[in-house]
Amino acid sequence: MKLYLLRHGATAGNLHRAFIGRTDEGLCEEGRAALRGISAPPCEVLICSPMRRCLETARILYPGMDPVLCEGLRECDFGEFEGHTHAELSGTPAYEAWLQSGGSLPCPGAEESLDAAAQRCVAAFDALMQAHAGARSVTLIVHGGTILSILHRRALPQRDYYAHTIGNGGGFAGEYASGTVTGLEAL
């Protein structure tokens, strides 16, 4: 099947380069305007994270289409780092320890580690692909971290975790078969 992984449009927190994971921000006006200029790829099945920024993106790109909502595709939880930028957190012991761990430590006050969030996202993706195996095309409107997690574990050839970093409103197209994503192209 054809698979499209799209990152939601920009929020105010994204524009300020703040950690926005579990914070349920809507799109900012700049984010909405940028999405209106995008030609959405064809979509038979539309799947979204239930967070406002993803739902608003879906309404703009696929008006009149009802998405399948999946809790498992939510962004990770940055705990006490939520809403803060690198510059604001830099030098604090908890943030420095988290950076030194390569993000393997849970953020203080977070419900799950980044690795646990990645495992959750990939498990949800696998279940969704199985549930919609007969579809010709599936589009996921999700978060940057969700896309990184899925592609790091399911895309071939395998690449560094951050190789699939994508900006707001951007995404990837590929082919999905037998648990693997191949032929990735940036949209």
What does the pLDDT look like over 49-62, one tens digit per residue? 999 999 999 999 99
Token output for 143: 């978060």
The pLDDT of residue 104 is 84
* Alpha helices (H) in 47-102, listed in sequence order: 52-61, 86-89, 93-100
Q: What is the pTM of this model?
A: 0.95
Residues 83, 23 contacting (CB under 8 angstroms): yes
Break the chain into its structural domains and give their ranges.
2-186
Q: How far is CA 2 from CA 129, 135, 167, in A?
A: 11, 9, 21
pLDDT at 161 over 90: no
What does the pLDDT look like over 68-110, one tens digit per residue? 999 999 999 999 999 999 999 999 999 999 999 888 888 999 9
pLDDT at 44 over 90: yes
Say which residues have a Cβ less than 8 Å from residue 84's Cβ, sequence separation at least 6.
18, 19
Class of domain 2-186: alpha beta
In 3D, which of 55, 37, 39, 35 has the Cα closest to residue 47?
55
pLDDT at 175 over 90: yes
Residues 45, 96 contacting (CB under 8 angstroms): no
Say which residues have a Cβ less than 8 Å from residue 5's Cβ, sequence separation at least 6.
139, 140, 142, 147, 150, 151, 171, 172, 174
